[in-house]
Amino acid sequence: MNIPPDAPAAVFTSYGYANIGIPVNNLLPPSDPDLGLGAIEIVDDPLQDGKFKIPTLRNIEFSPPYSHNGKFPTLMDMVNFINDRSDYSPEVESNIDDRIDSIDLDESDINDITSFLKTLTDGY
């Protein structure tokens, strides 16, 4: 991961890319799998397939639906997915990041994290 040395931490991103196993959004027209970073011509590396930019969480409250294909309608849906993706099949199976899996949060934790994310809105 290339983090610029002067990158501000307050934007709540590590400036990296990862495949966290986002499933296909069936509300979108069918298409070939979206390889994300791996599909970029100058990258052209299967080890990057399925990786997407780790987005800033600033003002995240106001940008539903969530993930690159809008699979998750609400912030809580997204946090639930991060906690436990066992009910979903990833669109791209390769290169899934092992920092995301079975965090084992309970409902109260999910609520707390969702509330915390809403404090990242400018102006509070």
**Site of interaction with ligand HEM (CB under 6 A):** 18, 20, 22, 52, 54-55, 57, 60, 63, 66-68, 75, 78-79, 82, 97, 99-100, 113, 117
- We find the least distance from the C-beta atom of residue 24 to ligand HEM, in angstroms, to be 12
Of 2 and 99, the one with the shorter C-beta distance to ligand HEM is 99
Of 46 and 103, the one with the shorter C-beta distance to ligand HEM is 103
Of 49 and 52, the one with the shorter C-beta distance to ligand HEM is 52
110: left (phi over 0), alpha (psi -120 to 50) or beta: alpha
Buried b (16+ CB within 10 A) or exposed e, 52-68: bebeeeeebeeeeebbe
- We find the least distance from the C-beta atom of residue 18 to ligand HEM, in angstroms, to be 4
3-state secondary structure of 27: coil
User: In this structure, what is the dihedral angle of CA atoms 88, 43, 18, 61, given to the nearest 10 degrees?
Assistant: -90
